[in-house]
Amino acid sequence: MLLLVSSYFFYCYWDWRFSVLLLTSTVVDFYIGKLVHKTNDQKKRKQYLWGSLLVNLGILGFFKYFNFFVDSFQTVFGTQFDYLHLSIILPVGISFYTFQTLSYTIDIYNRKLEPTNNIIDFALFVSFFPQLVAGPIERAKNLLPQLTKKLSPTKVQVKEGVNLVVMGLFRKVLIGDTAGRFVDHIFNDLHSYNSVEILFAVLIFGIQIYADFSGYSKIARGVAKLLGVELMINFSQPYLSRNITEFWRRWHISLSTWLRDYLYIPLGGSRKGKSRTYINLMITMLLGGLWHGASWNFVIWGALHGVFLSVHKLYLNYRGKRIEPSNTFSFGDIPRIIATFGLVSFTWLFFRSTSWESTELIFSKITDFQFSEYTLLFFQILIAYYSLSFLLDFLEHKFGQNFLLKIKNRAFSYGVLTMMFVITLLYMFQADPLPFIYFQF
């Protein structure tokens, strides 16, 4: 009850009015989950499931996509619908908790989960504050059983929790925010910059969004550990991926697995022939792009990833190969890692651009390539950020996410953590931290 009240206080601190939406999704899915479980009538079970989908996706669609669809209809039909535009505030974290509560009902419908009888436990599962506003998107089978027990963090969890919070803050503030200031400065005034500077902004944005989002995920997991709760890992060194398929197994894992289990597989996955497989991939990634925001730029971003995934799958089928999960890297993997990173970086252009006009301007500036007097300086800055980011990823890959705790000399280990925390705080006192990027989704 204490955690539930704290979680709602946390959410209401932003805007108390939108806690009604959070409560609505909670109550609807709690009772629909029980109804779906009780009846064996398949027709009724489907009706209940559709009820959950309509309520949850209806709320999400209205608050996130209403004006987007109005604008799209205006463009397609050439009719003015300005009077339909509403001043709608996007509730923070609505995409995350909507997917989380939907997974509960769908799992019960698929008989993979039994409903909880305690609405307090379920309400806490939906609103658990560390991961409420930006994930990871947890499954009930992992999180709910933990919340039904008396939470008592172990010494190991406390150590790992502190380590994750510090590492997350360091990534978000010292890497993500500082990189973000370059990105914002250039993207907010594209006309004043030339090819090298805009290309630099696109490439450094890849570092910003990774440091920002993976930093948040670490903080969320760390805070949860301090409460005795284990959340799933959301990132696994995605920029070390050797192909685009592997990238989506390492990037925003909670979303990619959600889309796989609740969209791609129900559509038929790869079970209905090759053509249908590629169509299913495209639908999944298009909707995955739209999940990120009400903008055609996000749809294009998702479409590009859908095309890349389809081409890679086509190549594997042609060669008669399958991707086997592997955490071992060799020198020969470097060209593939660079190529994959290049493809991902190209798609970030659409993700960061605020409008199609901005995207066209970026392309025109890059294609009409011109060097800058600051080319060398920008290159040095880029190398510095990439080196630090890849060094942290390499250490996590080699020794695990709590690699600092594995140093035998505890004084040295705790000293490094303290130093990182103090440096982060000093920077935060000097400059206001930028908002977490994924708060807007």
Asked if the bond preceding 325 is cis, omega within 30° of 0, the reply is: no
| pLDDT attached to residue 14 | 85
| pLDDT attached to residue 400 | 85
Cα(8)–Cα(188) distance, integer angstroms: 35
Cα(44)–Cα(51) distance, integer angstroms: 10
Cα(251)–Cα(438) distance, integer angstroms: 14
| C-alpha neighbours within 13 Å on the C-beta side of residue 441 | 20
Asked if the bond preceding 136 is cis, omega within 30° of 0, the reply is: yes
| pLDDT attached to residue 437 | 84
pLDDT digits 0-9 by tens, 331-389: 788 899 999 999 999 999 999 987 888 888 888 888 888 888 888 999 999 999 999 99
Q: How far is CA 190 from the centre of its chain?
A: 27
Q: Is 321 helix (H, G, I), strand (E, B) or coil?
A: coil
* Helix runs in 80-194, H state only: 94-109, 119-127, 129-132, 140-147, 155-169, 178-187
Which tokens in the block code for residue 35? 């109804």
What length does the chain have?
A: 441
Cα(354)–Cα(296) distance, integer angstroms: 10
Radius of gyration of the chain from Cα atoms? 23
Which residues have a Cβ under 8 Å from the Cβ of 32 and sit 6 or more positions away?
Answer: 48, 49, 51, 52, 105
Long-range Cβ contacts of 245-251 (<8 Å, 24+ apart) = 245/309, 245/312, 245/313, 245/323, 246/323, 246/340, 247/340, 247/344, 248/305, 248/309, 249/325
**252 is known as an active-site residue:** no
* Helix runs in 400-439, H state only: 410-430
Measured CA angle at 127 (ends 123, 128), to 5 deg: 110
Which tokens in the block code for residue 152? 């008592």
Measured CA angle at 160 (ends 155, 163), to 5 deg: 130
| pLDDT attached to residue 370 | 80
C-beta of residue 48 within 8 angstroms of C-beta of residue 121: no
Cα(29)–Cα(55) distance, integer angstroms: 9
| pLDDT attached to residue 195 | 87
Cα(134)–Cα(216) distance, integer angstroms: 8
Residue in the block written with tokens 């991707």:
323
pLDDT digits 0-9 by tens, 382-410: 999 999 999 999 999 888 888 888 888 88
Cα(187)–Cα(200) distance, integer angstroms: 11
Helix (H) or strand (E) holding 18: none
Q: Which one from 191, 252, 292, 305 is the annotated catalytic residue?
A: 292
| C-alpha neighbours within 13 Å on the C-beta side of residue 395 | 13
| pLDDT attached to residue 83 | 55
Which tokens in the block code for residue 17? 């009015």
Which tokens in the block code for residue 417? 């953590």
Cα(283)–Cα(210) distance, integer angstroms: 25
Which tokens in the block code for residue 322? 């399958």
Q: Is 28 helix (H, G, I), strand (E, B) or coil?
A: helix
Measured CA angle at 217 (ends 216, 221), to 5 deg: 120
Collect the ranges in the chain with pLDDT lower than 70.
Answer: 71-87, 323-326
Report the C-alpha dihedral over residues 51, 57, 58, 64, rounded to 10 degrees.
170
Report the C-alpha dihedral over residues 426, 432, 434, 435, rounded to 10 degrees.
110
Max CA-CA distance within the chain? Answer: 72
Which tokens in the block code for residue 197? 């500077």
In sign, the C-alpha dihedral spanning 331, 335, 336, 342 is positive
| pLDDT attached to residue 226 | 96
In sign, the C-alpha dihedral spanning 251, 252, 257, 260 is negative
Which tokens in the block code for residue 270? 């790869």
